[in-house]
Amino acid sequence: MFTQMEEVQEEVQREVQEEVQREVQEEVQEEVQREVQEEVQEEVQEEVQEEVQREVQEEVQREVQEEVQREVQEEVQEEVQEEVQEEVQREVQEEVQEEVQREVQEEFQEEVQEEVQEEVQGEVQGEEPSLVVGVSPCGSAPLLWRVQDLRAARRRGIVGALLGSLPRTPRQNGRLGRPLLLLEEEERLLRERHAAATLPAPQQAGGAEPRRRYEEQERRSFAEQSVLALEDRKAALLHAMTATGPESGTGTPDQAQQDRLKALDQSFTFPRSALAVQISTARAGLSHCPEARAFLKADGPIRARQHPGQEARYQVFSDLRGRGFYLTSAGKFGGDFLVYPGDPLRFHAHFIAVCVGLDESLSILDVLSVARLGSNVKKTVLLCSPGRGGDVIYTSLQWSGMV
């Protein structure tokens, strides 16, 4: 009996052990499989994440590169367009300037030749050159516009003051050109010597017709320059597109060029500020100068203006001019006239003329002030007092400091 029981117990134990082992093995296998699956899943997830990140980075980099390239292309195109515009404007301005200079030189040469021929003929015939000055009134200001009038006034010792800008350098005031503004005394002296005549006003010489012709010529010039500027812009754009190569897109390069040219035709505007204006600085002969022909028949009187002290100023001016001195305005020096011993282009002023009536009283403070002013600018102050007999009494003042 005991033996059978032991055998039964052994079988039971063996079966229990086998079952326990089997369960343990199954649990171990399940745990191992679960761990393996988790590891595999983690690895797969990491690989997927890395791949996704890599793809995202590549896409971002590609988009950034495309955007950078597009911005660079736009900047390059803008720079090219600006350079093309500047180059076109510069070329147009240079061409217009060259053409204007050439025309001016030709006209000037013709005018010089005609003047030389006229002077030679006058010398051969024993005639003296005309010294009659043509004055063009502008409100209350007597102006000299023509070169021959400036030359005639200079020969008579009339200096005046240039107040016009030079055609080639208009943005400066160091050197000025025509017209020449005359002092009232200079105008009156020429009138009393029968050496001046008033030129007819432009309305009398031609009315509104010259202005209409000028505006029509300006419109034609603007249209022609607009067409030339557009053609130059197109040529520069084609050159730039050919140099940079065809752009990326669905259309062909020829189609892209046509589209760009059409867009340029629609958007191009030629600014009026870039319009090159021809300025006539020389004329040839009387046949091209209607106002010169009208001057030959001019007999209108020059205006006579009166104000306090004008008569005394004119007597002083006439007397000093009769003594051979040259006079200009002395407003910057606190006087009436600057007195030169010769042509102002060759000499400095020696005196500051101050016109004072014989019966006019001066305070000692005014006398000291004007004397010190003359000493500071290294000039002698002349107190000029016209007398009753036509003579002028001169008193010189020089500041010598305290004694």
Collapsed DSSP state (helix, strand, coil) of residue 163: strand
pLDDT exceeds cutoff 50 at 126 = no
Q: Which residue type is seen at 300? A: G
pLDDT of residue 327: 94
Token readout for 401 is 């400091």
pLDDT of residue 207: 58
Of 340, 342, 371, 376, which Cα lies nearest the Cα of 354? 371
Catalytic residue chosen out of the listed positions 234, 314, 326, 379: 379
pLDDT of residue 117: 64
pLDDT of residue 130: 55
Catalytic residue chosen out of the listed positions 340, 350, 378, 394: 340
In a domain, 8, yes or no: no
Higher pLDDT, 297 or 146: 146
Cα–Cα distance measured from residue 104 to residue 111, given in angstroms and rounded to the nearest whole number: 10
Active-site residue flag, 288: no
pLDDT of residue 299: 46
Q: Residue 186 sits in a domain of what CATH number? A: 3.40.1170
- Residues 283, 335: one domain? no
- Point out the domain boundary residue: 222, 256, 291: 291
Higher pLDDT, 218 or 203: 218
In a domain, 114, yes or no: no
In a domain, 48, yes or no: no
Catalytic residue chosen out of the listed positions 214, 348, 350, 378: 348
pLDDT digits (tens, 9 = 90+) for 268-303: 777 877 777 766 655 544 444 555 545 444 444 445
pLDDT exceeds cutoff 90 at 338 = yes
- Residues 190, 221: one domain? no
pLDDT of residue 199: 75
pLDDT exceeds cutoff 60 at 8 = yes
pLDDT exceeds cutoff 50 at 143 = yes
pLDDT of residue 305: 53
**Percent of the chain whose pLDDT exceeds 90:** 11
Q: Report H helices in 126-208.
A: 147-155, 184-192, 202-205
Which residue segment(s) compose the domain that 185 sits in? 132-165+174-199
In a domain, 257, yes or no: yes
Mean pLDDT of 346-368: 87
- Residues 255, 332: one domain? no
pLDDT of residue 269: 79
Q: Residue 328 sits in a domain of what CATH number? A: 3.40.1350.10
pTM for this model (two decimals): 0.48
- Residues 243, 221: one domain? yes
Token readout for 249 is 């897109």
- Residues 366, 283: one domain? no
Higher pLDDT, 110 or 34: 34
pLDDT digits (tens, 9 = 90+) for 10-32: 888 888 888 888 888 888 888 98
pLDDT of residue 297: 45
- Residues 214, 287: one domain? yes
DSSP 8-state secondary structure symbol assigned to residue 206:
T
In a domain, 193, yes or no: yes
Higher pLDDT, 341 or 274: 341
pLDDT of residue 316: 92
In a domain, 328, yes or no: yes
Active-site residue flag, 394: no
Instruction: Name, in order, each residue with C-beta under 8 angstroms of 128's C-beta and a sequence gap of 6 or more.
Output: 122
Average pLDDT, rounded, for the chain: 78
> How would residue 384 be classed by pLDDT, with cut points 50, 70 and 90?
very high
pLDDT digits (tens, 9 = 90+) for 308-330: 678 889 999 999 999 999 999 98
pLDDT of residue 21: 87
Mean pLDDT of 356-372: 84
pLDDT exceeds cutoff 70 at 205 = no
Higher pLDDT, 117 or 183: 183
pLDDT of residue 255: 74
- Residues 336, 364: one domain? yes
Domain count, the chain: 3
In a domain, 57, yes or no: no
Active-site residue flag, 348: yes
Token readout for 79 is 């720079």
List residues bridging with 260 in a β-sheet.
none
What are the backbone dihedrals phi and psi of residue 135, each rounded to the nearest 5 degrees, phi first? -100, 135
Mean pLDDT of 168-190: 87
- Residues 222, 244: one domain? yes
Residue 360 to residues 319, 384, 386, Cα–Cα distance (Å): 20, 12, 11
> How would residue 236 be classed by pLDDT, with cut points 50, 70 and 90?
confident
Strand pairing class (177-181; 161-164): antiparallel
In a domain, 260, yes or no: yes
